[in-house]
Amino acid sequence: MKITVLAGGLSPERDVSLSSGALIAASLIRSGHKVALADVYVGVDIKNGIDALFVSNPPAPYRVSEAEPDLEKIIAENGGRRQLIGPGILELCAAADVVFVAMHGAMGENGQLQATLDNYGIRYTGSGYDGSLLAMDKELTKKLLAAEGVATPPGICGKSREMTAARVLSEVGLPCVVKPCDCGSSVGVSIVHNEGELESALNLAASFGGRVVVEKKICGREFSMGVLDGQTLPAIEIIPKSGFYDYKNKYQGGATEEICPADLTDDEAARMSRAALRVFGILRLRGYARIDFILDSQSGECYCLEANTLPGMTPTSLLPQEAAAVGIGYDELCERIAELALR
C-alpha cells in the first residue's frame, strides 16, 4: 500500500507526534509499504510529483525533548503562517490508500483533522471526528461518563476566568488535579497539595486553552488499558520514579517504571476491562484507543481519567508495551491499525 503518515502540527505535543510518526513510518516500510511521512503544519513540496514522496527508506528517529516545543518559534520559521494544514498535505493524503494519523493534541486529536479528511473522502486510522471531539474535551468526557454510570473523579469544569481559587477550594478542596480541558500528554497539568500552589496551577492550565478542569485527587495506583479492534489489551501499571506522570516522566526513558501485565486480581482486571470497553463505546471511538484509570487504594473503585484516541507510539509509549504482552510486536501493531482503517 501507499500510506501517508501525518505527524507534527501546531500542538504542545508536536515533538511526541514527530517521534511517533517516524517510528510508525519506519515500521510500515519494514512491512513492505511505500510511505510518505509529513509534518501536517510544515507541508510538503509536490511540484515534482506526489509519487516521489512515497519512499522505502525509513526516516531517522526523532527524540522528544524534556520541555514542550516553542510553537511561536516554529510559526516564525514558517513565515508566520498560522494555517494548521500546510501546502500539499491534502493532495498527499488523497494520493494514499490510507492515512496513518500519528498526531497528538489540538487539531490532530480534537476532530478537526478527521472532519477535513472525511470531507475529502480520505481513509484514515483511529476514531472519527465525533469520537475524537468527545474524548479530547475532558469536560464532555466527564459529563458523558457520569451520565452513563462510569466512575470518574469528582470535579468541576469551566471557563478559565470563572475557575477561581476560592471556587476550587469550596467545590473541590485539596488535594486536587488541575488541567487544561483539551490537552494530552499531561501538558499543563498540576497536582495541588496546598493553597499556595493553586493560583499558579490554574494560570498554567489556562495558558493552554480557554477551559480548565479541576478534579479531586484520587490516591491510588495508576493504570492504562488499550483497546484494539474491540478487544482490551492487558493493563499496564504506571509508577513514576519521582513526582507524577507528567510530560517529562512520560517521554524520557527510565523516568517511569511500567509493569505489564499489571499486578491486578482477576476481579480488578475484569472490572477495568469492562470499563474500558464501555468508555470506548460511550465516546464513539473507533479502531483503537487507550483508556487511563486510577484504582482507589481505599475504596477499590476504578476511576476513569480519560480516553486517548491516538495513543503515543514512542519507545516509552504504553500501547506498544501492552500489545507486546499478548505477542503483538510493534510492526504487527502498526499493520493492524492501518488494516482497521481500510475496513
Q: What grid cell was written down for 190?
A: 498540576
Q: State the chain's mean pLDDT as an integer.
A: 92
CA distance 25 to 3: 9
Give 257-269 as a 3 state SS string: EEECCCCCCHHHH
Distances (CA, A) of 262 to 225, 253, 265, 295, 312: 10, 19, 9, 12, 19
Which three-class secondary structure state does DSSP give residue 166?
A: helix
Q: What is the pLDDT of residue 218?
A: 96
Among candidate residues 109, 89, 100, the one with its CA nearest the CA of residue 29: 100
Q: Residue 311 pLDDT > 70, yes or no?
A: yes
Residues in the chain: 343
Give the chain's domains with CATH numbers. 2-124 (3.40.50.20), 135-151+218-328 (3.30.470.20), 155-216 (3.30.1490.20)
User: Rounded distance, CA 162 to CA 257, Å?
Assistant: 37
Confidence of residue 105 (pLDDT cuts 50, 70, 90): confident
Catalytic positions are 13, 185, 251, 290, 292, 306, 308, 312
- 106 in helix, strand or coil? helix
HEC profile of 4-37: EEEECCCCCCHHHHHHHHHHHHHHHHHCCCEEEE
Nearest to 107 by CA among 134, 141, 127, 136: 136
More confident residue, 162 or 93: 93
Run of H or E residues at 99: strand 98-101
Q: Kindly state the average pLDDT of the residues 65-92.
A: 93
- The mean per-residue pLDDT over the stretch 313-329 comes to 91
* 3 in Cβ contact with 99 (< 8 Å): yes
pLDDT digits (tens, 9 = 90+) for 154-200: 999 999 888 999 999 999 999 999 999 887 556 789 999 999 899 99
Q: What would the DSSP string read from start to end of 132-155?
A: HHHHH-HHHHHHHHHHTT-----E
First-to-last C-alpha distance (Å) of the chain: 14
Nearest residue to 318 (alpha-carbon basis) of 259, 276, 270: 259
The reported pLDDT for the residue numbered 242 is 53
For the residues 218-247, what does the mean pLDDT come to? 86
Q: Which of 96, 204, 215 is nearest to 160 (CA)?
A: 204
pLDDT tens, residue by residue, 235-290: 999 998 755 544 444 444 566 799 999 999 999 999 999 999 999 999 999 999 99
pLDDT number for residue 142:
94
Interior angle at CA 342, CA 29 and CA 58, nearest 5: 10
Look at residue 63 in the predicted model and tell me its pLDDT.
Answer: 85
